[in-house]
């Protein structure tokens, strides 16, 4: 019995102590939540998102801040890129009464969080959740995203490859992650018109397993289909290996990566000899944008972290912060409704790192355009101009 | 010819599995523990090799030449991971050992999570890449057959390691002591085998082999990440069971076989369903041979 | 006693009250943490059935959880079936899935079973990713799962979900406690402790292992349903090997087979990382370290199960003792009645030439070694027959073949005229054949009375539902079993240690306990493997007297292996001598005593 009592006391103490953790009173700074995968499989994305947002914050404060110089505080919530932790992270940010949230990476992880923000009338700007259904499957009043959608990119690839590159035999490869599959499916859909017209052929459509390192079997299969262009929609760690192993096997056709496939690390993994000449479908890149904002961002980022973001999404996280800061400043308060109003209708003049930011009725980024980039002999990425 | 190439690739990936599987199997032999942390030791080896090679802007390669640098990295990883293994046994396994097998498994899972997150904390969550300048990138064309130097190096080195181990375990007195310990720990103690020494040796050698495999893996694919341990660990563990756990030649066979099965599964069935296929084969083999392919049938003493 | 119960009731009430009030003084975030605590408690309890109670090494439990979640998501989004109705469907679906995938592999042992469950977990996850038949939505998963509603009462807010999951949990806990303390729960525990002893005591090992998997999977399926309706999305990245490992840790942290332990373990796994959010990047680092430390300092788990005394179920043990003494005769009668019903119509044992057990040219080999070679044995009804012979003569192998542990290479075994060759051990036990082992095989972590009740298992009928509901007949049966078990404990002189764990008994008493377990099934043939080894002279003497008394009282036949010649010569009616797997002589003790071949076998030929 005595032991039992001790346990009960412990349980009691435990349960009473729990809620105390959140009993901090909120002070003056405007709190903005960042939900990101700080641990787990996509931890490097989370880390870069955090770095980017911090750089963006510094830029905002350099320019005098918002609401007459009120400080902004970033509250980070880790979702470990799984849906359960995502729900908890969202609930945690809600209970910390942040003004709005940036987040998160990964569409299926974003789904439960978006529902929670929606229920609590809290604005959430996604930066790496590109699935079409996130905005199209159900009406979400409070969800926005600064990144593009899978379908825009997929369509761009299909049109470009058939019409500009005159490719007839097209190979598409993804890695069965939410994002890569989404882009691949959308590319396939957009390709249908050409298939029906008989001017192109989808000769290969299959998935690799992320985290694997040896892709020779599937590449051998790919080689046998003799494609004119080879599109990989997955991520750079695999893309680098694919290009190297594919070229070694004698696949000579142009390699086109999605916007997650090609970056500095891709070049490091593939080796410059293999990486040069690789193409990618990509929104305008900060390196390519000539705006002072983009330059300043890259400069600061490099200063702080000795590198620049290796994927496009951290940049969108920074843009999400710019959008929020703009909305708060213009609305003159952190009231959700006021901010919502600005985000919906009054975004003219809001510049982010990736150009001007505006949202459609459903919360998607307005006017995202894709371009074809190429890796040069020097390992730089420039707009492709054959 | 394609089949031959696939076979060669299967053997390469299989020799990674085999080297890791050896560690599982040996540790299982002396402690009856599935060392779930073993895959993460492999990843640790990969990162240590990487650090040595990029240290001082590739000082090791400049000083000792390309091959010298590689060997330095392999040796460094071998000893460092071996020591990590011994430390792991001392801190996390030995105190739990007396409490039975299930607590040991939990302890191993704990070590695995700890190691994986330590790697993330030290080297950061980003993917790292072995620079192309520190490894040979030539390929040889034998008629149609396309082999890279690195591939040959991996095959030769891992077969040498495996043969040496096979010799030690099967032909020497010390090896006999290892086998005796694996069969019956208590009896071996009674017969004067220094079981502590054997355990230390195993916990050095098993992880050390994993470390070497990690460095070779990094050199071959050049891309490493802190989560790679789970993937390789799980596969190598599957290979161990496929062959028959606790049995050294069985682990080698299981590893090589798994590599080949995977390659052919991906090539001729479906890349996306490849792992499903691998696990199905494992389950089917275990249904008909409940102790693995060449695991000895142990009659329960009643 | 009464006072102790009072405080425990009071503290239980306090805990319940606390849980009801918790959402009032916590915010939505901590309410959600408590909700996931509840879901993981369900999962922990479900794995506890498989891993904790039955000792099956399951590292792929997330597969069953996934099946439940996906059944809910698919049926709800495609056909709009309300979530509440899908709870039983998810349970049945997951249970059925478990039955199908585990029945071919249930015979695997320990680590091999472990890797197969890992394989199943991975196969399910990969299949979900690859979107078979377009059902699972691939890596995106399925979105738009509905919310449960109890009649008009929609469960949507964190607080409501909190009460919903803990409400279900309370029901589940009550069911599981009742199951744990019934014939089913005991059978699982027997398997965990020693499956060979369990099988020879008459427990259908395969059946109960499968039952454990099915029940565990069904419960995980329920958890999957709740999870899906809370997050409104299911996607494959939830059901990883890591998740299965976490569930494994829940059960191990709490303590194998302990219901409060599993709940506590779930609390640690869910709440601990939340508390350590402050150190963001390092939280999993701490978590890994904490797992190791817990296993070093509390290897049995934080809240291990204490075997409760079985008296809780029957009003009072003193009553029972009195009743047992008074009712001895009645019990014997009821035993006889059971016997008659379980057997053919005739009350007379069905024997060949008055032999209850015969073997015909029995042969058993291991690899190249012939352990038993064309061995013929005839055991006379109502007599004591001994098998003697030097070490390695194949005596124990004969026993193992007769009781079904080994299948003979050739030859047949007849029991009461029926061919029992190759039957499963538990079938043979049901026919009325009980045995003890050379190296005692008890259920070490169970109490003595639970050990003895193993023998009664196959004579009881209550199953899952009746055990949970505690029907009249189930309670009567439990009481009946308890009384008979007590009776045998008293008879073997263990009456006063009935609540002691078997492993805590001294060697001699352990032997007696094993004997009591064998006798409790009221067998017609009792097979004893070296009953007197390890006993001192006085104990041996007592044992001999006891065995002889049994012959008359219980209408029993005894077959034994014995090395102690005093015992053999003292009580045997017939002695069989084995050497090198063959019978070399048989006869009355006197004949054997001077038989030249026997002397040769024992002492070697005189040159």
Query: Are residues C116 and B282, on separate chains, in Cβ contact within 8 Å?
Result: yes
Residue C144 has its nearest CB partner, among A5, A77, A138, at A138
**Which pLDDT does position A33 carry in this prediction?**
93
Question: For A35, phi and psi rounded to 5 degrees?
Answer: -100, 120
Q: Please report, for chain B, the start and end positions of each structural domain, with discontinuous segments joined by +.
A: 2-288
The three-state DSSP-derived secondary structure of C52-77 is HHCCCCCCCCHHHHHHHHHHHHHHHH
Cα–Cα distance measured from residue C22 to residue A147, given in angstroms and rounded to the nearest whole number: 40
Cβ distance of A265 and B2 shorter than 8 Å: no
Q: C192 and C55 in contact (C-beta within 8 Å)?
A: yes
Quick one: pLDDT band at residue B164, thresholds 50, 70, 90? very high
* Among chain A residues, CA nearest to C30: A19
| Residue A1 pLDDT > 50 | no
DSSP C126-187: HHHHT-GGG-S-GGG-EE-----EETTEE--SHHHHHHHHHHHHHHHHHHHHHHHTSHHHHH
Residues in chain B: 302
User: Given pLDDT bands bounded at 50, 70 and 90, which one contains residue A212?
Assistant: confident
Enter the CATH code of domain A30-148+290-356: 3.40.50.2300
More confident residue, C329 or C270: C270
Model confidence at C344: pLDDT above 60: no
| CB pair distance less than 8 Å for B110 and C109 | no
Chain C contact for B57 (CB, 8 A cutoff):
no
Residue A346 CB neighbour total at 10 angstroms: 14
Distance CA C532, CA C257 (A): 34
Look at C125 and A283; give whichever has higher pLDDT: C125
Q: Do C138 and A19 touch (CB under 8 A)?
A: no
Q: The tokens 């594919």 sit on which residue?
A: A246
For residues B117-128, give the mean pLDDT. Answer: 88
Chains that contact B by 3+ CB pairs under 8 Å?
Answer: A, C
Q: What is the band of C183 on the pLDDT scale with cuts at 50, 70, 90?
A: very high
Alpha carbons A72 and A31: distance in angstroms, whole number: 6
Cβ contact C307:C450 at 8 Å: yes
Span C499-523, average pLDDT: 90
Rounded CA-CA distance B231/B217 in Å is 13
pLDDT grade for A178, boundaries at 50, 70 and 90: confident
C528 touches C559 (CB < 8 A): yes
Please determine, for residue C345, whether its predicted confidence score (pLDDT) is greater than 60.
no
Instruction: Report pLDDT for B28.
Output: 87
Separation CA C413–CA C376 (nearest Å) = 9
What's the pLDDT at C217? 97
B127, A261 contact by CB (below 8 A): no
Asked if C7 lies within 8 A of A1 by C-beta distance, the reply is yes
Q: CATH: 3.40.50.1100, 3.40.50.300, 3.40.50.2300, 3.40.1190.10. Which one for A151-282?
A: 3.40.50.2300
Q: Could you tell me if residue C577 is left (phi over 0), alpha (psi between -120 and 50 degrees) or otherwise beta?
A: beta
* Ranges A229-243, B177-191, C86-100, C460-474, most confident: C86-100
Instruction: Report the share of chain B in percent with pLDDT over 70.
Output: 97
Q: Say what the pLDDT of residue B214 is.
A: 95
What is the rounded CA–CA span in Å between residue C85 and residue C80?
11
**Residue closest to B40 by CA, chosen among B125, B118, B154, B124:** B118
- Contact check, Cβ <8 Å, B139/A248: yes
Whole-number average pLDDT of chain B? 87
Asked if residue C326 has pLDDT above 60, the reply is no
User: B241 and C112 in contact by Cβ < 8 A?
Assistant: yes
Q: What is the pLDDT of residues A303-357, one digit of tens each?
A: 998 888 877 888 899 999 999 999 998 888 888 999 998 998 888 888 888 888 8
Burial code (b: 16+ CB inside 10 Å, e: under 16) for A358-367 equals bbeeebbbee
What is the model's pLDDT at position B58? 72
pLDDT tens for C189-228 read 999 999 899 999 999 999 999 999 999 999 999 999 999 9
* Confidence (pLDDT) at A19: 44
pLDDT for the residue C528: 93
Give the CB-side neighbour count of residue C503, counting CA atoms within 13 A: 7
What confidence tens digit (pLDDT) does each residue in A24-34 have? 433 478 899 99
What is the pLDDT averaged over residues B256-283? 86
Residue A20 has pLDDT above 70, yes or no: no
Pick among 1.10.3470, 1.10.150, 2.60.40, 1.10.287: CATH of C2-297: 1.10.3470
Residue with tokens 């190598």: B236
pLDDT, mean over chain C: 86
Helix (H) or strand (E) holding A328: helix A313-331
pLDDT of residue A217: 85
Residue with tokens 């005839």: C378
Please state the separation of Cα C198 from the chain's center in Å: 7
pLDDT of C96-111, one tens digit each? 999 999 999 998 887 8
Tell me the average pLDDT across C259-264.
92
Q: Which residues of B touch C61 (CB under 8 A)?
A: none
pLDDT of residue A214 exceeding 90, the answer is no
Q: Are C348 and C555 in contact (CB under 8 A)?
A: no
Q: Could you tell me if A220 and B267 are in contact, meaning their C-beta atoms sit under 8 angstroms apart?
A: yes
Give the whole-angstrom CA distance, residue C81 versus residue C353: 67
Residues C268 and A14 sit within 8 Å (Cβ to Cβ): no
Question: B56 burial class (0-12, 13-18, 19+ CB within 10 angstroms)?
Answer: exposed
Query: What local confidence, expressed as pLDDT, does residue C134 receive?
Result: 84
Secondary structure (DSSP) of C337-385: HHHHHHS-S-SS---BTTEEEEEEEEEEEETTEEEEEEEEEEEETTSEE
CB atoms within 10 A of CB A223: 20
Give the per-residue pLDDT at A25: 39
Identify the weakest region by mean pLDDT among B186-195, B264-273, C134-143.
B264-273
Tell me the average pLDDT of chain A.
85
Give the pLDDT of residue B291: 80
Asked whether the ipTM of the predicted complex exceeds the cut of 0.90, the reply is no
Q: Look at residue B159 in the predicted model and tell me its pLDDT.
A: 93
Residues paired with residue C447 on neighbouring β-strands, in sequence order: C501
The three-class DSSP label of residue A14 is: helix
pLDDT at C309: 62
Q: What would the mean pLDDT of C237-251 be, rounded to a whole number?
A: 90
A81, A216, A262, best to mutate vs chain B, most B CBs in 10 Å: A216
Asked if C275's CB is within 8 angstroms of A21's CB, the reply is yes
Taking 90 as the threshold, does the pLDDT of residue A51 lie above it? Answer: yes
What confidence category does residue B163 fall into, taking pLDDT thresholds of 50, 70 and 90? very high
Q: What's the CA gap between C392 and B263, in Å, rounded?
A: 50
Class of domain B2-288: mainly alpha
Task: Centre a 10 Å sphere on the Cβ of residue C74 and count the other Cβ atoms it contains.
Answer: 20
What value does the mean pLDDT take over residues A7-27?
A: 46
pLDDT value at C516 more than 90: yes
Contacts of residue B210, defined as CB under 8 A and 6 or more positions apart, other chains included, come to B19, B20, B23, B38, B39, B41, B42, B45, B81
**Model confidence at C317: pLDDT above 90:** no
SS3 call for B271: coil
> What is the C-alpha end-to-end distance of chain B, expressed in Å?
53
In chain A, residues under CATH classification 3.40.50.2300 are 30-148+290-356, 151-282
pTM across the whole model: 0.87
Bond from prior residue into B60 cis (ω within 30 degrees of 0)? no
CB under 8 Å to C347, separation ≥6 — which residues? C340
| Segment C150-169 mean pLDDT | 90
Q: Over 70: is that where the pLDDT of C153 sits?
A: yes
pLDDT in tens, C49-79: 999 999 998 999 999 999 999 999 999 999 9
C468 vs A284, more confident: C468
Any chains having at least 3 CB pairs less than 8 A from chain C are A, B
pLDDT (tens digit, 9 = 90+) per residue, B67-114?
888 899 999 999 999 999 999 999 999 999 888 888 898 899 999 999
Backbone angles phi, psi at B69, to 5 degrees: -60, -40
- Evaluate if residue C3 carries a pLDDT over 50: no
CB neighbours of residue B180 within 10 Å: 17
Q: What is the largest CA-CA distance in chain B?
A: 64
For residue C274, pLDDT over 90 is answered with no
Mutation site for C-interface testing, chosen from B93, B109, B254 by largest number of C Cβ within 10 Å: B109
Check CB contact under 8 Å for B270 and A206: yes
pLDDT greater than 70 at residue C348: no
Dihedral sign from CA coordinates of A259, A264, A269, A272: positive
Least CA distance to A209: which residue of chain C?
C126
Which residues lie below 8 Å from residue C159, measured CB to CB, with a gap of 6+?
C23, C28, C31
pLDDT at C321 over 80: no
Q: Which residues of chain C have a CB within 8 Å of the CB of A121?
A: none
- Range B141-155 average pLDDT: 82
Measure in Å the smallest separation between the Cα of C33 and chain A Cα atoms.
Answer: 7
Within a 13 Å sphere around the CA of B77, how many CA atoms are in the beta-carbon half?
Answer: 30
Q: What is the pLDDT of residue C84?
A: 93
Q: What pLDDT does C169 receive?
A: 94
* Domain C335-603 sits in CATH 3.40.50.970: no
Q: Closest residue of C to A36, CA-based? A: C280
Residue-level pLDDT at A36: 93
Better-scored residue on pLDDT, A176 or C99: C99
In which band, very low, low, confident or very high, does the pLDDT at A268 lie, cut at 50, 70 and 90?
Answer: confident
| B142 against B31, higher pLDDT | B31
pLDDT classification of C166: cutoffs 50, 70, 90: very high
In the three-class reduction of DSSP (H, G, I as helix; E, B as strand; rest coil), residue A256 is classed as strand
- B38-62: average pLDDT: 88
Cβ atoms A232, A207 nearer than 8 A: no
Integer CA distances (angstroms), C130 to A154, B276, C123, C126, C592, in order: 20, 10, 10, 6, 73
User: 3-state DSSP call for residue B14?
Assistant: helix
Chain B CB contacts of C439 under 8 Å are 301
Which residue among B146, B228, B266 sits closest to A248, beta carbon to beta carbon?
B146
| pLDDT attached to residue B296 | 61
Helix (H, G, I), strand (E, B) or coil at C283: helix
Q: How confident is the model at residue A7 (pLDDT cuts 50, 70, 90)?
A: low
**pLDDT above 70 (res C173):** yes
Three-state DSSP class for residue A146: coil
């Amino acid at each position: 019995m005595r032991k039992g009592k001790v346990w009960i006391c412990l349980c009691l103490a435990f349960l009473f102590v729990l809620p105390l953790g959140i009993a901090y009173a909120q002070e003056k700074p405007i709190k903005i939540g960042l939900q990101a995968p700080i641990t787990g499989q996509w931890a490097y994305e989370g880390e870069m998102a955090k770095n980017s947002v911090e750089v963006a914050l510094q830029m905002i404060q350099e320019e005098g801040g918002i609401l007459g110089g009120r400080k902004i505080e970033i509250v980070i919530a880790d979702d470990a890129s799984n849906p359960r932790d995502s729900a908890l992270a969202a609930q945690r940010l809600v209970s910390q009464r942040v003004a709005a949230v940036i987040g998160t990476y990964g569409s299926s992880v974003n789904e439960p969080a978006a529902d929670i923000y929606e229920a609590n009338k809290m604005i959430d700007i996604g930066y790496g959740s590109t699935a079409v259904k996130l905005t199209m499957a159900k009406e979400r009043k409070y969800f926005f995203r600064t990144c593009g959608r899978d379908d825009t990119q997929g369509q761009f690839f299909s049109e470009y490859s058939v019409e500009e590159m005159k490719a007839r035999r097209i190979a598409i490869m993804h890695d069965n992650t939410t994002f890569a599959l989404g882009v691949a499916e959308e590319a396939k859909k957009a390709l249908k018109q050409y298939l029906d017209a008989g001017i192109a052929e989808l000769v290969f459509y299959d998935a690799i397993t992320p985290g694997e390192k040896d892709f020779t079997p599937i590449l051998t299969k790919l080689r046998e289909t003799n494609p004119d262009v080879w599109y990989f929609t997955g991520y750079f760690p695999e893309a680098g290996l694919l290009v190297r192993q594919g070229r070694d096997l004698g696949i000579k056709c142009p390699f086109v990566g999605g916007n997650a496939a090609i970056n500095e690390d891709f070049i490091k993994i593939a080796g410059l000899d293999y990486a040069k000449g690789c193409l990618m479908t990509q929104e305008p890149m900060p390196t390519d944008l000539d705006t002072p904002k983009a330059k300043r961002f890259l400069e600061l980022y490099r200063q702080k972290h000795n590198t620049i973001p290796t994927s496009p999404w951290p940049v969108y996280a920074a843009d999400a912060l710019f959008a929020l800061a703009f909305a708060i400043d213009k609305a003159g308060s952190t009231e959700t409704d006021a901010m919502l109003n600005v985000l919906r209708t009054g975004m003219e003049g809001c510049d982010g790192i990736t150009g001007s930011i505006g949202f459609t009725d459903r919360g998607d980024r307005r006017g995202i355009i894709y371009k074809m980039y190429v890796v040069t002999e020097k390992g730089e990425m420039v707009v492709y101009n054959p | 010819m394609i089949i031959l190439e696939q076979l060669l690739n299967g053997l390469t990936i299989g020799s990674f599995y085999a080297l890791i599987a050896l560690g599982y199997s040996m540790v299982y032999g002396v402690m009856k523990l599935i060392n779930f942390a073993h895959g993460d030791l492999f990843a640790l080896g990969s990162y240590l090799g990487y650090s040595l090679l990029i240290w001082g802007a590739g000082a090791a390669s400049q000083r000792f030449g390309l091959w010298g640098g590689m060997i330095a990295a392999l040796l460094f990883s071998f000893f460092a991971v071996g020591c990590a293994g011994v430390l792991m046994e001392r801190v996390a396994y030995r105190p739990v050992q007396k409490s039975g097998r299930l607590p040991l498994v939990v302890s191993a899972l704990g070590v695995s999570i700890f190691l994986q997150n330590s790697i993330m904390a030290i080297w950061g969550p980003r993917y790292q890449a072995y620079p192309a300048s520190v490894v040979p990138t030539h390929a040889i064309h034998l008629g149609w057959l396309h082999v890279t130097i690195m591939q040959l190096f991996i095959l030769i080195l891992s077969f040498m390691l495996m043969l040496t181990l096979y010799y030690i375990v099967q032909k020497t007195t010390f090896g006999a002591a290892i086998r005796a310990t694996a069969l019956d720990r208590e009896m071996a103690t009674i017969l004067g085998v220094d079981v502590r020494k054997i355990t230390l040796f195993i916990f050095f050698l098993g992880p050390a082999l994993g470390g070497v495999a990690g460095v070779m893996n990094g050199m071959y694919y050049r891309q490493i990440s802190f989560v790679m341990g789970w993937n390789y660990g799980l596969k190598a563990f599957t290979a161990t069971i496929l062959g028959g756990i606790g049995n050294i030649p069985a682990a080698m066979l299981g590893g090589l076989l798994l590599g080949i099965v995977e390659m052919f599964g991906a090539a001729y069935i479906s890349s996306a369903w490849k792992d499903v296929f691998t696990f199905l084969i494992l389950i089917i083999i275990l249904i008909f041979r409940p102790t693995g392919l060449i695991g000895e049938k142990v009659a329960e003493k009643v | 006693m009464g006072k102790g119960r009072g405080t425990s009731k009071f503290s239980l009430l306090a805990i319940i009250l606390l849980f009801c009030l918790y959402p009032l003084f916590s915010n939505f975030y901590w309410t959600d943490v408590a909700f996931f605590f509840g879901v993981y408690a369900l999962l922990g309890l479900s794995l506890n059935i498989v891993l904790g109670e039955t000792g099956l090494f399951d590292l792929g439990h997330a597969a069953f959880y996934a099946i439940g979640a996906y059944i809910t998501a698919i049926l709800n989004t495609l056909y709009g079936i309300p979530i509440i109705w899908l709870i039983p469907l998810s349970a049945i679906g997951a249970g059925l899935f478990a039955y199908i995938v585990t029945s071919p592999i249930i015979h695997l042992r320990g680590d091999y079973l472990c890797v197969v469950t890992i394989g199943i977990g991975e196969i399910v996850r990969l299949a979900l990713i690859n979107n078979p038949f377009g059902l699972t939505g691939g890596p995106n998963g399925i979105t738009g799962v509905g919310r449960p509603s109890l009649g008009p009462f929609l469960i949507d807010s964190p607080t409501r979900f909190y009460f919903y999951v803990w409400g279900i949990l309370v029901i589940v806990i009550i069911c599981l406690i009742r199951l744990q303390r019934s014939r089913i729960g005991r059978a699982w525990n027997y398997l965990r402790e020693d499956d060979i002893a369990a099988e020879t005591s008459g427990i259908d090992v395969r059946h109960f292992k499968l039952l454990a998997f099915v029940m565990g999977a069904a419960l995980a399926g329920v958890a999957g349903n709740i999870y899906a309706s809370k997050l409104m999305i299911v996607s494959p990245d939830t059901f990883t090997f890591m998740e299965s490992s976490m569930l494994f840790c829940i059960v191990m942290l709490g303590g194998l087979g302990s219901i409060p332990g599993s709940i506590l373990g779930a609390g640690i796994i869910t709440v601990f990382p939340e508390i350590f959010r402050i150190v963001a990047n390092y939280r999993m680092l701490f978590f890994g370290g904490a797992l190791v430390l817990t296993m070093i300092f509390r290897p049995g788990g934080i809240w291990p199960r204490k075997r409760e005394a079985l008296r809780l179920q029957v009003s009072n043990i003193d009553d029972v003792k009195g009743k047992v003494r008074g009712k001895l005769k009645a019990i014997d009668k009821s035993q006889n009645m059971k016997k008659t019903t379980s057997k053919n119509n005739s009350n007379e044992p069905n024997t060949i030439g008055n032999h209850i057990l015969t073997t015909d040219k029995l042969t058993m080999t291991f690899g190249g070694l012939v352990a038993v070679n064309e061995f013929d044995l005839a055991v006379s009804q109502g007599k004591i027959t001994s098998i003697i012979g030097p070490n390695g003569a194949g005596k124990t192998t004969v026993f193992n073949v007769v009781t079904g542990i080994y299948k003979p290479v050739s030859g047949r075994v007849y029991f009461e005229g029926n061919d029992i060759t190759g039957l499963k051990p538990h079938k043979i036990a049901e026919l009325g054949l009980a045995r003890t082992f050379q190296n005692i095989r008890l259920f070490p972590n169970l109490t003595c009375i639970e050990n003895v009740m193993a023998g009664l298992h196959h004579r009881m009928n209550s199953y899952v539902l009746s055990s949970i509901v505690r029907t009249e007949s189930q309670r009567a049966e439990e009481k009946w079993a308890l009384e008979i078990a007590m009776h045998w404990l008293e008879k073997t002189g263990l009456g006063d240690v009935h609540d002691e764990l078997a492993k805590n008994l001294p060697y001699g008493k352990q032997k007696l306990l094993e004997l009591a377990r064998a006798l409790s099934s009221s067998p017609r043939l009792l097979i004893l493997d070296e009953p007197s080894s390890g006993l001192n002279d006085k104990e041996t003497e007592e044992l001999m007297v006891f065995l002889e008394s049994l012959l008359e009282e219980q209408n029993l036949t005894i077959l034994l292996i014995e090395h102690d010649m005093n015992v053999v010569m003292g009580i045997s009616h017939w002695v069989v001598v084995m050497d090198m797997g063959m019978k070399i002589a048989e006869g009355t003790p006197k004949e054997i005593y001077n038989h030249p071949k026997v002397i040769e076998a024992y002492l070697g030929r005189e040159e």
